C-alpha cells in the first residue's frame, strides 16, 4: 500500500509498505530516499507520534493516508 509522508518543507514522499511491516520500515525507506537516519525521524499520524514497533495495520494506516515527518535534532 502507498502512504504519503509530508515533510515540514511541504515535500511529499510516497512510501510503499505492507500492512504487516513495522513503522520502523517506513523510516528505513525514508532514509533510503532522503538520507535521514531513522533515529532522527518522528512520524506523526492524526496528531500523535506512532511507535516504531507498531505494524502499519495496528497503527491504523491505510492506502493513501498521509503521515507527517518531524526531525529530532540533537543538541550538543
CA-based end-to-end distance of the chain: 39
Q: What is the mean pLDDT of each run of 10 residues along the chain (76 residues)?
A: 94 97 98 95 97 96 96 76
71 CA to centre of own chain: 11
Closest alpha carbon to 67 in 17, 20, 32, 39: 17
Domains defined for the chain, CATH in brackets:
2-71 (3.10.20.90)
How much is the pLDDT for 23?
A: 98
HEC letters along 13-29:
EEEECCCCCEHHHHHHH
How much is the pLDDT for 68?
A: 98
How much is the pLDDT for 76?
A: 57
Amino acid at each position: 500500500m502507498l502512504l504519503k509522508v509530508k515533510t515540514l518543507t511541504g515535500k511529499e514522499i510516497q512510501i510503499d509498505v505492507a500492512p504487516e511491516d513495522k513503522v520502523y520500515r517506513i523510516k528505513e525507506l525514508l532514509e533510503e530516499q532522503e538520507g535521514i537516519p531513522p533515529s532522527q525521524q518522528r512520524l506523526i499520524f492524526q496528531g500523535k507520534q506512532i511507535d516504531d514497533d507498531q505494524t502499519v495495520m495496528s497503527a491504523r494506516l491505510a492506502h493513501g493516508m498521509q503521515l507527517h515527518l518531524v526531525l529530532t535534532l540533537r543538541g550538543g
